């Protein structure tokens, strides 16, 4: 199957300024949310769910991405600021998407999970699909 990125038509030109602006707004929203939750004593653990890959090193093992610009479409370079604003270390799990491989790693005390099902009409389809369990102890 042809690479998805090769199927983008020229009339779908991507505006880099728009993407940059959206990435800043998305990161700012998540940073502000995490900052507010630091002061709530009733919030002991935080689970974050994003579409973008939060850390490049989570997928650097993938040789299909080596030497390509595909990660530029998958991540947000500002997501590291979310972690630096977790002063009470409440972020427990970070579920993410936009990557078609499985990832389950603990890095700096945070469990990162990508367990996408994929699209049924592509080679990324996971059939059968096995969901992951996230348990938060209180």
Instruction: Give the highest mean pLDDT range of 4-8, 91-95, 122-126.
Output: 91-95
Cβ–Cβ under 8 Å, residues 93 and 134: yes
Q: What pLDDT is recorded for position 136?
A: 85
Provide the residue ranges of all domains of the chain, joining segments of one domain with +. Answer: 16-114
**Location of structure tokens 């409440």:** 90
Looking at the DSSP assignment, which residues form a beta bridge with residue 75? 53
List, for residues 48-74, the tens digit of each pLDDT value: 999 989 998 999 888 888 777 776 778
Distance CA 125, CA 1 (A): 13
Q: Which two tokens stand for residue 57?
A: 């090193």
Average pLDDT over residues 28-55: 95
């Amino acid at each position: 199957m042809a690479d998805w990125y090769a199927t983008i038509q020229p009339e779908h030109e991507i505006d880099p300024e728009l993407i940059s602006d959206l990435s800043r707004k998305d990161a700012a929203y998540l940073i502000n949310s995490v900052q507010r939750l630091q002061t709530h004593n009733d919030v002991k653990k935080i689970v974050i769910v994003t579409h973008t890959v939060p850390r490049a090193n989570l997928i650097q093992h993938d040789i299909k991405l080596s030497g390509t610009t595909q990660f530029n479409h998958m991540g947000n370079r500002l997501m590291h600021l979310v972690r630096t604003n977790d002063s009470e270390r409440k972020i427990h799990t970070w579920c993410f998407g936009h990557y078609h491989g499985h990832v389950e790693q603990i890095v700096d005390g945070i469990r990162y999970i990508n367990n996408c099902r994929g699209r049924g009409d592509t080679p990324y389809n996971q059939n059968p699909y096995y969901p992951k369990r996230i348990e938060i102890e209180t």
